[in-house]
Structure 1
């Protein structure tokens, strides 16, 4: 028996996006709705976003691209090279659980994402890899409670921490913030994402 009175209302998604567009800001550009739900996490993400981390989620994620095309860079669990999955306007993409991924959203794009509450004892992760040698530079694990707040908190800790946190121990490259990206002929064009540390 539900403790609270049930809601049986609809949501005009396009109107909601217009009213909440100001919240879709880098680095994550997410805004959750249906926040009262205990069984599903539904949010909109807008471009541009500026991310060079990989999110590791213990649940599946469903991407539905409402406006424009995006790329979701994935790091396959079988060790194959990272690659971009292009999700075009009107398309959906179901990402398996635990696959490190980075949604790359050009300016003006809007997508709907559906996730699920995390099972007890399972944490999310944000990982940063060296753009030069692909060595894992930093791996932050955390308990996700609010999708439109928690990712940004972890990202800000990474960027606001000491430079050693962003420096590759393998080659000395220092990760810098990602710039905006564009998709051209199905390929991601991005600003530089690092520099070599002074020796």
Structure 2
């Protein structure tokens, strides 16, 4: 039997407490659930204070349900890397190409939906931090993404807890 449709306003009313820092996301459809065909669907709230750039081997679909967000992106095929901010306003959608470093900045009381395709079994996601001044990579961690809801938070916390990781070498 297929699950019922998700009513976003009702879900937020009952579950907004699940959107906790530092990432403020909750997987409403997990890739391990047979009905999702491997897709991950998350509800993400604001505000957040992320400084990391996530790199995913598949495209990511953004729908901004309430408020606005800013998607910071990097084209690292150029030297130096080219940084671009993409505003995504309420009611708007955006499809981020695969392998694009991105940092989703969410504002107070904003809510979005993010959908990710299934990854290949050996695909490596990455979390990357850039120097604010010179734009060099400060630290990067690659990992096989099994549970986005917990792994991104763990890498963000690992970076925050280690002063050496936050220094440009």
CA–CA distance in structure 2, aligned partners of residues 66 and 16 of structure 1: 13
SS at match of 1:117: coil
With structure 2 as the length reference, what TM-score do the two structures score? 0.91
Kindly state the Cα deviation for residue 8 of structure 1 after the two structures are TM-superposed: 4.4
Other-structure match for 1:107: 108
Change (3 A) 1:70 1:38: same
CA–CA distance in structure 2, aligned partners of residues 164 and 155 of structure 1: 14
User: Is residue 154 from structure 1 mapped to residue 149 from structure 2 by the alignment?
Assistant: no
CA–CA distance in structure 1, aligned partners of residues 131 and 16 of structure 2: 32
Kindly state the Cα deviation for residue 31 of structure 1 after the two structures are TM-superposed: 0.3
For 1:1-199, list aligned pairs within 5 A.
Answer: 6-35=1-30, 36=33, 37-79=36-78, 81-161=82-162, 163-169=163-169
Per-residue CA deviations over 1:138-179 (Å, capped at 9, x if unaligned) read 010011111211100111111112x1111012xxxxxxxxxx
Consecutive unaligned residues of structure 1, counting only runs of 5 or more, are 1-5, 170-199
Kindly state the Cα deviation for residue 78 of structure 1 after the two structures are TM-superposed: 3.2
Kindly state the Cα deviation for residue 77 of structure 1 after the two structures are TM-superposed: 4.0
Consecutive unaligned residues of structure 2, counting only runs of 5 or more, are none
SS at match of 1:82: strand
Which structure's residues are more often helix, by fraction?
2
Other-structure match for 1:174: none
CA–CA distance in structure 2, aligned partners of residues 101 and 107 of structure 1: 19
CA–CA distance in structure 2, aligned partners of residues 167 and 8 of structure 1: 47
CA–CA distance in structure 2, aligned partners of residues 93 and 54 of structure 1: 17
Spell out structure 1 runs of 4+ moving beyond 3 A: none
Kindly state the Cα deviation for residue 39 of structure 1 after the two structures are TM-superposed: 2.3
SS at match of 1:14: helix
Kindly state the Cα deviation for residue 100 of structure 1 after the two structures are TM-superposed: 0.1
CA–CA distance in structure 1, aligned partners of residues 49 and 113 of structure 2: 18
Count residues in correspondence. 163
Maintained 8 Å contact 1:144/1:150: yes
With structure 1 as the length reference, what TM-score do the two structures score? 0.78
